[in-house]
Amino acid sequence: MMRSLTYGLRAWRSKTLAVTLMLCAIVALPARAETVHLLALGDSLTQGYGLIEDEGFVPQMRAWLAERGHDVRLVNGGVSGDTTAGGLSRVEWSLTPEIEGMIVALGGNDLLRGLPPETSRANLEGILEVAEAQEIEVLLVGMTAPGNYGPDYKAGFDAIYPELAEEYDTLYFPNFFRGILPEGGTPQNAAGMMQGDGIHPNADGVALIVEAMGPSVEELISRIQSGD
């Protein structure tokens, strides 16, 4: 009888120890990071105009982030020829329920058409208001006006992005072309990094743009994950 009780006690202790060790192992396992869902709302620069699929801005940014260990789904919301007005008209339905953050890169086509800076500002502000209402973190990517529209136009347009970023507490990247342009330059100054039209970057140019903007996208991811 005593021998049977002793055996049973040992078996119970062994099972208890095994369960305890298993629970400790589970607790010690690193937490699996959840996928971060981002939308890149933009125009042909975002869409990847003139490039094969893997060479565009979105796939190259996805690859850059993956190489640095980020589990990110980046949706290509670029539409060729889109203005800030076009972005505003589609932002609400583009922000599907799983989207947590948005890269806003619009304004280039407003410049090509010479649209009034106040119009572009109002449209971008509308986009940021939608993002704010849906609690979406934003990285606002700036554009710089060329000098041929005059100093007043340039000053008015260039001020849009930093001022709105400050007002809406978004992250801010000063210029989409920052990675390939000299200070104060235009796309025409980026020799060897542009396609034949002088407006859109080639694959090598996109790689440099991604390299420059990538840390800001990482900051966007960090904001989302920290809940700030």
Q: What's the N-to-C CA distance of the chain in angstroms?
A: 64
Q: Which of 4, 197, 226, 228 is catalytic?
A: 197
CB-based contact 111:125 (threshold 8 Å):
no
φ, ψ of residue 113 to 5 degrees: the values are -95, -5
- Please pick, among 44, 94, 120, 216, the residue that the annotation labels catalytic: 44
The verdict on whether 37 is a catalytic residue reads no
Helix (H) or strand (E) holding 216: helix 203-226
Q: Decide if 145 contacts 153 (C-beta within 8 A).
A: yes
Please indicate whether residue 169 is annotated as part of the active site: no
How many other C-beta atoms are found inside a 10 Å radius of the C-beta of residue 142?
A: 22
In angstroms, rounded to a whole number, what is the distance separating the alpha carbons of residues 93 and 212?
A: 29
Q: Which of 72, 87, 56 is nearest to 204 (CA)?
A: 56
* Catalytic residue, candidates 82, 94, 200, 216: 200
Q: Respond yes or no: is residue 200 known to be catalytic.
A: yes
- Residue 90 to residue 3: CA distance in whole angstroms: 77
Q: Count CA atoms within 13 Å of residue 141 on its CB side.
A: 28
Strand partners of residue 103: 40, 139
Whether the CB-CB separation of 220 and 103 falls below 8 Å is answered with yes
**Active-site annotation, residues:** 44, 197, 200
